[in-house]
Amino acid sequence: MTVSLEQEINPWEAQSARFDAATKKLNLDEGLVKILRYPNRELIVHIPVSMDNGKLEVFTGFRVQHSIARGPAKGGVRYSPDVTLDEVRALASWMTWKCAVVNIPFGGAKGGIICDPHKMSPGELERMTRRYTAELVEFIGPEKDVPAPDMNTNEQVMAWMMDTYSMHMRQTVTAVVTGKPINIGGSRGRREATGRGIMITCDQAIKKFGLRPENTRVIVQGFGNVGSNAARLMHEAGYKIIGIIEVDGSIYTKKGIDIEALWSYREKNRTLAGFTEAEKADPTELFQSECEILIPAATENQITSRNAAKIRCKILAEGANGPTTAAADEILAANKVFVIPDILCNAGGVTTSYFEWVQDRQGYFWKESVVNEQLADIMISSFNDVVRYADTHSVNNRIAAYMLAIDRVAYTVRQRGIYA
């Protein structure tokens, strides 16, 4: 069946296509499939904010809790003009499967506010964040739903959310959010965790191809928190980062980019443009250049049926959520691209968020070396679980990851039974 590009890039449709394929392979009961498909709760809130110019503005916010079968819901909050309920709904379900793939005791949630944070002052962002949190206060909490940073949100936003929730509870509740500053209950290693998880899964993938890091060319799309940390950690591990793709400048050099120098340049100049130790590159051509590892670490729908045949990597390591559409999966599989699916590849962030939640609840905080060691254990065992599942069931890695995750959640739902 031919679908339009609009249908193909709809994140909820993309999630549903993978879900349907996985549940058919698992041969699950029809009623159980319905339970797993739909979110547990969807909230829409309208947030009045007093702007700096004295006017009142009303922003629309969402929080979708997809599943609480295996534990509290868990997922980020994003601020963007492009936030939609379909997107948040899809991201919440992806979080359910992501937590289940790495076998941590959370369900999935996601939140977002339709706004342009780049056009808002810190004061406006704080007032909006606090009112959004207040609207959700009865639905979130350490045992209910634990928000985290996502696109255009950060440690400061989490500090505001934690403080607002704590004021309503009349006590400090650090475990209500993760991704906080370290001095108020954040975890060491959290900021680098998603990038580190990408590196760990790439380490496992290159072993399957008989590659060594120094002979492995890597192109990274996106130089935000995820992409920059993945690039820096992989550069330190000996990988040859030959290209970086960013909206403010894409660069390439076949000898490999000095990521530390690029990092310092970006810190100083707030842009990659003008970096003289690599050539300026066309972002589309660079994305389709030959390499061993391509890491899309920007936004959704970067690889579609329109460009999938032009992707020339051996390993596609999905640092972003939903960078590849369901229609593109078939093309990549036909071209024998080894995909490390997003719900596995970028699960280092939620895994270390779990560590942060545990530390907050214990009131005891770990050394960064312990965090990284625990993260490596979980990411390596999860990678092996997915690859083994793919081999056993003769499916690609993405469907294997979905099957593994859905099977774990379904097993828990069956054990708990249906309350009626």
> How does DSSP assign 332-388, residue by residue?
HHHTT-EEE-HHHHTTHHHHHHHHHHHHHHHT----HHHHHHHHHHHHHHHHHHHHH
Q: Which of 195, 158, 167, 171 is nearest to 357 (CA)?
A: 158
Q: What's the pLDDT score for residue 4?
A: 76
Total of domains in the chain: 1
Phi and psi at 242, nearest 5°, equal -95, -15
- Confirm if 38 and 117 have CB atoms less than 8 A apart: no
Tokens of 160: 């505001």
Domain that holds residue 112: 39-183
Q: Do 302 and 287 meet the contact criterion of CB atoms below 8 Å apart?
A: yes
Tell me if 371 is assigned to some domain. no
Please state, in angstroms and rounded to a whole number, the distance separating the CA atoms of residues 176 and 158. 9
Q: Say if strands 107-114 and 73-80 run parallel, antiparallel, or are unpaired.
A: parallel
Helix segments in 209-292, DSSP class H = 225-236, 259-269, 283-287
Residue with tokens 């099957």: 403
120 neighbors 44 (Cβ within 8 angstroms): no
What's residue 14's pLDDT?
82
The backbone torsions φ and ψ at residue 125, rounded to the nearest 5 degrees and listed phi first, read: -65, -40
Residues 392, 396, 401, 407: what is their CA dihedral angle, to the nearest 10 degrees?
Answer: -50
The C-alpha torsion from 229 through 383 and 323 to 181, rounded to 10°, is: -40
With 0-12 CB in 10 A as exposed, 13-18 as middle and 19+ as buried, what is 20? middle
pLDDT at 3: 64
The continuous run of DSSP H or E covering 20 comes out as: helix 11-26
Number of H helices, E strands in the chain: 15, 12
In a domain, 51, yes or no: yes
CATH number of the domain residue 173 falls in: 3.40.50.10860
The answer as to whether 309 is a domain residue is: no
Continuous segment of H or E residues that includes residue 217: strand 217-221
Is residue 24 situated within a structural domain?
A: no
pLDDT tens, per residue, the chain with 420 residues? 566 788 788 888 888 889 999 999 999 999 999 999 999 999 999 999 999 999 999 999 999 999 999 999 999 999 999 999 998 998 999 999 999 999 999 999 999 999 999 999 999 999 999 999 999 999 999 999 999 999 899 999 999 999 999 999 999 999 999 999 999 999 999 999 999 999 999 999 999 999 999 999 999 999 998 999 999 999 999 999 999 999 988 999 999 999 999 999 999 998 999 999 999 999 999 999 999 999 999 988 999 999 999 999 999 999 998 899 999 999 999 999 999 999 999 999 999 999 999 999 999 999 999 999 999 999 999 999 999 999 999 999 999 999 999 999 999 999 999 987
Residue 116: predicted pLDDT: 98
Asked if the structure places residue 137 within a domain, the reply is yes
Q: What span, in angstroms and rounded, lies between the C-alpha atoms of 65 and 86?
A: 13
8 A C-beta contact, residue 305 and residue 327: yes
Distance CA 55, CA 288 (A): 47
110 catalytic? Reply is yes
Question: From the CB of residue 172, how many other CB atoms can be counted at a distance below 10 Å?
Answer: 14
Per the DSSP assignment, residues forming a β-bridge with 73 are: 107, 145
How far is Cα of residue 151 from the mean position of the Cα atoms in its chain?
A: 9
Q: What is the pTM of this model?
A: 0.94
Asked if the structure places residue 103 within a domain, the reply is: yes
Catalytic residue among 110, 180, 240, 314: 110
pLDDT for 8: 87
pLDDT for position 206? 98
Residue 12 belongs to a domain: no
Beta bridge mates, 59: 47
Does residue 408 sit within a domain? no
